[in-house]
Structures are given as structure tokens and as C-alpha cells.
Amino acid sequence: MQSFRTELENPVVEKDIIDLERKIRLFREGKIHDEKFRSLRLARGVYGQRQPGVQMVRIKLPFGKVTFKQLLTIADISDEYGSGNLHLTTRQDIQIHYVSLDRTPELWARLEQDDITLREACGNTVRNVTAAPTAGIDPKEPFDVSPYAHATFEYFLRNPICQEMGRKFKMSFSATDSDEAFSYIHDLGFIPKVNAQGERGFKVLLAGGLGAQPFLASAVDEFLPEDQLIPYIESVIRVFDRYGERNNRNKARLKYLVQKLGLDEVLRLAKEERVANKVKTYPINREALPQPAIPDTTVYADVQPVNPLRYEQWLATNVFEQKQEGFYGVYIKVPVGDIDTATARKLVDILKPLVADELRITQNQGLLLKYVRKEALTALYNGLTELELSAPGFDSVADVTTCPGTDTCNLGISNSMTMARVLENVIYTEYEDFIYNREIKIKISGCMNSCGQHGLAHIGLHGSSLKAGTKVLPSVQVMLGGGTVGNGVGRVAERVVKVPAKRATSVLRSLLDDYKANSITDETYHGYYDRQGKDYFYRLLKPLADLTTLTEEEFVDWGHEETFVTAIGVGECAGVVIDLVATLLFESEEKLGWANDAYAESRWADAIYHAYSVFVSSAKALLLDKSINSSTQAGVINEFDAQYVDSGEFNLIGSFNDLVLQINKNEPSEEFATAYLAQATQFLNDSKAKREALVK
């Protein structure tokens, strides 16, 4: 695998890839614990599939931006290393499936040649930073949030403060008060604002999340000045890293830390961390992202739409005027987010003369095209029709969001992809008027963890199972009444009833028929749901939950021919906790190396944080020798004092707490970095000596 090493211009990236290759080799040789290796590869975008022996590779595309060249590169790579399919995700990533672990370093190197990364696309890291796909062209936006999302992505990529957190951390940037990026379900969500003085800033939402237990985020700042965006995020992440849960993955999100400590205390701790931040102010380069290249063509052939009726529907539902006069944004509805590579290549050929060289992946697994001239719309529609990508009803009731479910995910309980296609077909064939309804959202997940965002849907379904006598059948939990209200306010869908999965079509028909018959003119779905009440919908759907009328077909899941069997593997969405003493001490040595590298490059804040990690990892290793496994870094620090310092087993001048937490009492200067790194080095050496004495 020598070829890629000389082709990469970025030495940091090259080192990353070589390190992954080396650790795969050590893992194969049995020299790295399998759980530790799992954590390592997840942080590099490599995720285990339901199928043994192959991986899903998640490509991190900040705010969903991808050029024609990048899309073609990803298609080539999917053909060479994967299954020849591109899956668009709700976090604006692209996933490739069925990849051999041993080929992932080579795959990564190929991607990096076109400035595409896998780094921190999975694992206990800052995940892909999402943003409204319309950012930059939205007529209602106060300003383009794209440069702010990009700056956030760049600042926290490979940042020491967020490489090994208790669990993942998600952020979003909406374009307007409509809250297109769902700020209310993120660890940090941002909505752009302009104050009376014309200054830019953001409304800040903190500690939201979906999963099996959804939490709505709290509004914590109505106007955070733009130059305080990055420092604010850094302070919050530092608190999450130190105080967040690490043993119980089900409680390891920021929302649970707020529940445990209280919102005011988390905000106080974040304010305390500002002293240690790498930066106190961070001006955003608004020109960091070049405008996409727009086709020179201004004269187009006079063509007629291949299907005039569908064309008019498409114009009404998938096309809008940009804020740039004379140009239009065009949405492409991508069924279940899947595009095969042959279609992707043909799509690029069609788009090149008609649209700007920048696609945005949308949160509902579609694509947004930019800078389309009115005269080009018919040719674009005809081209998309050839590829079966011109269906009207983007982001409408007919545009169902879904995760891969049991197709590839370890955690999937029942099928979601085929079910989504079937439900969409019901809309197009029986309820065509609903393709104009962009208020009601239908979202499906293969399990309760909400990767398909069922928790924020007006009509949400998640995979489950039911017992009927001695047999088990696939089912769906029906959830209703969730969704976006606006300006950071959202609603979590309520669990109403569980029904056999094959009856999902009947559920949809019952709900839409009732809505048509009983909603009031201009009434929102939220208003209709609240007026009728949860019990009303339970009684409406209860007959569909009757298991005395089951047919043999209902024991077979959507898209399958065999009888249903629940088969849930170990999920990897959040990585794992490593509790091996030797591994922790080895990690401490590795982190000390990173600290010394950062120090040599005068990156004082990074050196200091790596040194902090040396203290914590070394202390945790010694605590494990006493069978003490603290669930937070703050707990490790306190327990080390109680078990080792107070008892006199480990000699320190003062407490371990005072030693380690110098980090948030001092500016990240060269002087402090020098002293702190020396203290961390000494502590690691003393810890290794202590460990050696214990095992003799």
C-alpha cells in the first residue's frame, strides 16, 4: 500500500491513514484489543455492518456540500471497494457499504485526493456538522450560514478536546427561523439572527437529542455574536468531555448531563472553561467558501416536457426562486436516499451544462441543485426523468425519510427501506393531492434509536416486534404529533400504538383519510392532532393492532421472503468503553507523544489538552487495579485523590484535582504548556512505576 503515501499533499492526513493501516495490521496480529480497535476505526468513519466481515464507510461531507468531481470520485470508489451504491443520510453524509476492512486506508487515501474525509464521521466525536441545504440561496435567510458551519467543521476536526468523548456530539445550522436543520434535537443548534445594530449572531439551542428517549433542546442564548460561536462550542464540548458519562452508553449524551447536573450548572461550567479555550474570539472568514461555478450557457434548446402534467407538479413542489435574481433552486427526490453509481455518473453528465457545480445533500436524503436558469428547467426535468429522479413532492407526505434498518444495520429490528417505498407508492397512487403537502412529514427508523428521525415526524414509525402465541412477527411503533414549530421550538412525537409491520399501509390510509375528513380548513397537523388528542388516534388505529386476525404473510417482513426472526447485533453508533489497564497506559504514552508533537509546533492549547488526557488515562488505569471504574473524567480525578493521594499510596504535592484542573485556571500559554506537560510526563512515569510494582 505504498502508492497512496506519496500522492497525498497533506502530511497530517497522510499520517492519519498510515496510522489506520498500521493499527489494522496490529489488530490482525492480535496486538490491539478488539474493543479498542472498534473505537479507533469508528472515529475514522469505518462502521461494522449487520453482515459479518464487511464494513460501512461513512463519508463526512460538511453541511452536505459535494461537487461534481467529488461525487464522481465517491462513485468510482463505491464501485471499486463497495457495492456500487451511494446512500444519502439524514446528517448529509454519503455511506458506502460492503467494504473490506483491510482496504479502508487505501479507500480513504483515494477520497482525500479530492478533499473528502472519513475522519470523525462515526464514533465518540463531533459528527458531521449539518446545515440547511438552502443556505446561501434562501430568500428568507438573514445571511449565509455555510461559512460558519464550515469553520465549525474545520476547527473541531482532529481537535484534542473531542477525540474520545463519552459519546457523539451533533451540531446544526439552520438558514431561517423555519429551522430547516432541526436545531431543537441537537447537542448544539444555531439559528442565524441579525441584531438592531446590523451585527450577525445566532440563537443557541443546547442539549437536544432523539434516540430512544428524545429530549428537546433548551434555548440558552438569544443572540450569540458570530465571533463567539467557536469559543462557545469549545467550552461546551470541554464540559461534556470532562463530566459526560462514559460507562453507560445509554446515558452518555449531553442531554443526560444536563438532566444530571442541571442546565444552569452546565452553563456555569462552560463559562469556567473559557479561560482554557484555545481562542477567546474567532472571527469567521465569510469568504472561505468560493461560490460554485455557474454554467456559461444562457441559451437553451426549446424542448417540451416529456410529461406535461408531472412537469407542472414538479415545478410546484421541487423548484423555488433563489434570492439571486434569475436563478432557481431545484430539489431531487431520491427514493430512500439510494443512488447507484451508474445513475450518479449519468446525473452529473446531465447537470453539468444546466446547474452550478455544487450539490447539497438534504436532511431528508435528497439533493438540492443551485443556480438553474428558468430556461433550463425543462431540459433539466427531462434529463432527470430519464433517470427516474423527477418525481414531484419533494419533502412532502410522499417523501418518506428512512434509515437502512435491517438491510445493513446491526441494530435494525424490522425493515424500513422497503416499507418507505411501499408507503410512498400509496401516496402517489391513492392520495396524489398530498404531494403538495410539505407540512406533514413521514419518517421511519428500523429500531427505536431514531436514525430515520421518526421522533420528530408528524407520522413516525419505528421497527419493533410482537409476540403472537409462540411466534414473533415484525411490527412498527406508530408515533404521531412530532415535528418542527419554528425558531428553535419543536415537538417530540408521541407513542400511540404498535401494529404488525405489514399493516403500515393501513395505518397510513386511516390517518390520511381521517385528516381529510376531520381537519379544519387551514388547520396544521399539529393543531389537528392536539384538538383530537392522543386517545382519539389510539382508538382510530386500535383495530389494526388486533393479533387475532393475523395472516401468514404478516410473519414475513417487508422486502423479505423468509419468516421473521429478531436478530439484533451490537450497535456501534457510539463506540465502546475500554477498561484494560495495559491499554490505558499504552494510550497515555500515545497521548504524551501527541502532546509533545503539538508542543514542538507551538500549538500550546492542543499540547495542554493532550497532557490533560495523559493525567486522566493514567489515573484511570491505576484505579482499575482497585476495581474502580468511574464513569466520568471528573469522577476519575476525584476517585484518584480518594484512593491513592489521600491514603498516601501516591505522593503528590497537593491534590490530584488541583494538579489536573490547572487546565481551566490558566490561559493556554507557552509557559503553562511547558509546566503542565512536564507534570503530565512525570505523572505517567510514576503511574507506570506504580503499576509495575503492583504486578510483580
Pick from 24-28, 208-212, 247-251, 388-392: least confident: 24-28
Q: Which CATH number fits domain 581-695: 1.20.120.330, 2.60.40.10, 3.90.226.10, 3.90.320.10?
A: 1.20.120.330
CB-CB contact of 378 with 312 (8 Å): no
Pick from 248-262, 431-445, 561-575, 673-687: least confident: 561-575
Instruction: Return the beta strands (E) in 54-187 as ranges.
Output: 55-59, 65-66, 85-88, 94-99, 130-131, 171-173
**Cβ–Cβ contacts within 10 Å for residue 671, how many?**
10
Pick from 46-50, 85-89, 384-388: least confident: 46-50
The fraction of the chain above a pLDDT of 90, given in percent, is 75
Residue 58's Cα: distance from chain center in Å? 10
User: Using CA atoms, how far apart are residues 648 and 568, in angstroms rounded to an integer?
Assistant: 48
CATH number at 404-555 = 3.30.413.10
Name the residue type at position 197: Q
pLDDT above 60 for 336: yes
Of 187, 197, 40, nearest to 120 by C-alpha is 40
- Per-residue pLDDT tens over the stretch 203-229: 999 999 998 889 999 999 999 999 999
The residues pairing with 556 across neighbouring beta strands, listed in sequence order, are 563
**3-state class (DSSP) for residue 131:** strand
Same topology between domain 130-276 and domain 404-555? yes
Q: 604-624 and 670-695 are packed helices; what angle lies between their axes, rounded to 10 degrees? A: 20
**How high is the pLDDT of residue 3?**
44
Q: Which CATH class name applies to 308-386? A: alpha beta
Name the residue type at position 427: I
pLDDT above 70 for 278: yes
Phi and psi angles of residue 331, each rounded to the nearest 5 degrees, phi first: -90, 140
Phi and psi angles of residue 219, each rounded to the nearest 5 degrees, phi first: -75, 120
The residues pairing with 46 across neighbouring beta strands, listed in sequence order, are 57
**How high is the pLDDT of residue 2?**
43
Q: Which CATH class name applies to 3-112? A: alpha beta
Name the residue type at position 329: G
- Per-residue pLDDT tens over the stretch 67-78: 999 999 999 999
Residue 339's Cα: distance from chain center in Å? 20
The fraction of the chain above a pLDDT of 70, given in percent, is 95
Instruction: Return the beta strands (E) in 430-585 as ranges.
Output: 442-445, 459-468, 471-480, 483-486, 489-491, 494-500
**3-state class (DSSP) for residue 581:** helix
DSSP letters, 22-63, are HHHHHHHTT-S-HHHHHHHHHTTTEEE-SSTT-EEEEEB-GG
**How high is the pLDDT of residue 7?**
56
Question: Biggest alpha carbon distance in the chain?
Answer: 87
**How high is the pLDDT of residue 577?**
37
pLDDT top residue among 653 and 693: 653
CATH number at 130-276 = 3.30.413.10
* Domain edges within the chain: 3-112, 130-276, 308-386, 404-555, 581-695
User: Using CA atoms, how far apart are residues 601 and 303, in angstroms rounded to an integer?
Assistant: 60
Sign of CA dihedral 12, 14, 20, 25: negative
pLDDT above 90 for 599: yes
pTM beyond 0.85: the answer is yes
pLDDT above 70 for 9: no
The residues pairing with 474 across neighbouring beta strands, listed in sequence order, are 465
pLDDT band at 576 (very low <50, low <70, confident <90, very high): very low
Sign of CA dihedral 620, 626, 627, 630: negative
pLDDT band at 6 (very low <50, low <70, confident <90, very high): very low
Residue 221's Cβ-count burial label (10 Å; 0-12, 13-18, 19+) is middle
Mean pLDDT of 635-650: 95
Of 342, 359, 453, 355, nearest to 399 by C-alpha is 453
